[in-house]
């Protein structure tokens, strides 16, 4: 099979992916140079947010395998071939990394570690109340590959966890009964701008908000207003409307915001190359493909 690796990858990342994929699939031809493969020869495109139109002329394409778990940007490419199966990245190592990030954020909110960081910057010595894990209810929105693992890890740590997925009842009820809200929903038409003024107003006063999914799910001006009014006590944000977060953006210096550079859970070629290889082999051997995206649902 002919495998075309393409997308937004820095040269060292590209080299790492090529090496790992070639090790995992020694019998296949894998290249990032389309002229060497020949557009008509490509069977599989392994993609990391390719520029729109990049897959349009691959006449023999039989599988698009994303290296990223979220496929919202890919699905936004109007030229993406409609009849070619699209698979996303599902890797237990990524779910573990996401669970670590969520646990760090929730623990830090529970024990006031973000507040202590602010106090250090102000040179202030003051002990804050110590809350037990079982005194906090944590909402995990999205109970898929990542949210499911996050919910398990938080529950094992002693938090009261309530999950929310499609058909899970009114979101406002979940928001109103949670001390921390962790967002792990995919970005779709239904979840775009989900976190607006009304949703923040439905949250418990002073609750924590942890967004590890997509920036476009949050109306940033509404979150800033909710932080300024104290409705949201602290926000941990890994994803933003515009990435990288622009210089001078209010989130950078807001005392109640912790910023991460879209690093909550990276795809690691050391484990993820085997996930890609399994799907390429399934295609070659005529077995069912794994982790297919339902384009109608958008995830």
Catalytically active residues are: 214, 262
Q: How many helices (H) and strands (E) does the chain have?
A: 11, 11
- The phi and psi torsions of 116 (rounded to 5 degrees) equal -65, -35
Q: Select 39 or 298, whichever has its Cβ closest to ligand NDP.
A: 298
Tokens matching residue 3? 């495998």
254 and 225 Cβ atoms separated by less than 8 Å: no
Residue 264 in contact with ligand NDP, rule: CB under 6 A: yes
50 and 75 Cβ atoms separated by less than 8 Å: no
With residue 293 as reference, give the H or E element that holds it.
none
Smallest distance from the beta carbon of 66 to ligand NDP, in angstroms?
10
Smallest distance from the beta carbon of 240 to ligand NDP, in angstroms?
11
Residue 140 in contact with ligand NDP, rule: CB under 6 A: no
Residue 91 in contact with ligand NDP, rule: CB under 6 A: no
- The piece of 48-56, 102-110, 182-190, 223-231 that touches ligand NDP (CB under 6 A) is 182-190
Q: Select 212 or 232, whichever has its Cβ closest to ligand NDP.
A: 212
Q: Select 58 or 68, whichever has its Cβ closest to ligand NDP.
A: 68
- Those residues whose C-beta lies under 8 Å from the C-beta of residue 271, and which sit 6 or more positions away, are 91, 92, 93, 94
Distance CA 65, CA 237 (A): 27
Residue 184 in contact with ligand NDP, rule: CB under 6 A: yes
DSSP state of 62: -
Q: Select 145 or 179, whichever has its Cβ closest to ligand NDP.
A: 145
Residue 275 in contact with ligand NDP, rule: CB under 6 A: no
Going along the chain, which residue ranges are E strands?
Answer: 2-7, 29-31, 44-48, 63-66, 86-87, 137-141, 160-164, 180-183, 207-211, 232-237, 257-259
Q: Which of 7, 50, 186, 233 binds ligand NDP (CB under 6 A)?
A: 186
Count of residues of this chain found to bind ligand NDP when the rule CB under 6 A is applied: 26
Q: Which of 7, 142, 208, 233 binds ligand NDP (CB under 6 A)?
A: 142
Radius of gyration over every alpha carbon of the chain, rounded to an integer in angstroms: 21
Smallest distance from the beta carbon of 24 to ligand NDP, in angstroms?
21
- The piece of 30-38, 206-214, 219-227, 246-254 that touches ligand NDP (CB under 6 A) is 206-214
Describe the strand order of the beta sheet including 63-66 as a list of residue ranges: 29-31, 2-7, 44-48, 63-66, 86-87
Going along 9-151, which residue ranges are E strands?
Answer: 29-31, 44-48, 63-66, 86-87, 137-141
Q: Which of 24, 203, 213, 227 binds ligand NDP (CB under 6 A)?
A: 213
Residue 143 in contact with ligand NDP, rule: CB under 6 A: yes
Residue 99 in contact with ligand NDP, rule: CB under 6 A: no
Q: Which of 212, 226, 235, 272 binds ligand NDP (CB under 6 A)?
A: 212
Residue number closest to ligand NDP, CB atom: 144
Q: Select 139 or 212, whichever has its Cβ closest to ligand NDP.
A: 212
Q: Select 25 or 185, whichever has its Cβ closest to ligand NDP.
A: 185
**Secondary structure class of 108 (helix, strand, coil):** helix
Q: Which residues bind ligand NDP (CB under 6 A)?
A: 69-70, 142-147, 165-166, 184-188, 190-191, 212-214, 238-239, 262, 264-265, 299
């Amino acid at each position: 099979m002919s495998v075309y690796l393409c997308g937004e990858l820095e040269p060292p990342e590209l080299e790492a992916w090529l090496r790992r994929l070639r090790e995992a699939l020694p019998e296949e031809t894998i290249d990032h140079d389309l002229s060497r493969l020949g557009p008509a020869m490509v069977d599989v495109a392994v993609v990391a947010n390719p520029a729109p139109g990049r897959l349009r002329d691959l006449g023999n394409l039989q599988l698009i395998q994303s290296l990223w778990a979220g496929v919202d940007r890919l699905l936004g490419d109007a030229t993406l071939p409609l009849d070619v199966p699209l698979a996303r990245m599902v890797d237990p190592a990524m779910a573990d990394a996401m669970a670590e990030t969520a646990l760090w954020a929730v623990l830090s909110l529970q024990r006031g570690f973000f507040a202590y960081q602010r106090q250090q910057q102000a040179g202030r010595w003051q002990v804050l109340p110590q809350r037990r894990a079982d005194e906090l209810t944590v909402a995990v929105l999205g109970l898929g590959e990542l949210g499911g693992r996050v919910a398990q890890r938080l529950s094992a740590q002693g938090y009261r966890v309530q999950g929310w997925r499609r058909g899970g009842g009114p979101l406002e009820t979940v928001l109103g009964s949670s001390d921390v809200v962790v967002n792990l929903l995919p970005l779709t038409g239904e979840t775009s701008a989900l976190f607006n003024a009304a949703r923040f107003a439905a949250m418990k006063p002073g609750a924590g908000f942890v967004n590890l999914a997509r920036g476009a799910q949050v109306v940033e001006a509404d979150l800033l207003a909710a932080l300024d009014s104290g409705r949201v006590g602290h926000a941990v944000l890994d994803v933003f409307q515009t990435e990288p977060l622009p210089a001078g953006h209010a989130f950078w210096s807001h005392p109640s915001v912790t910023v991460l550079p879209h690093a909550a859970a990276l795809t690691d070629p050391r484990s993820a190359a085997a996930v890609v290889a399994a799907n390429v082999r399934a295609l070659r051997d005529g077995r069912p493909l794994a982790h297919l995206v339902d384009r109608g649902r958008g995830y």
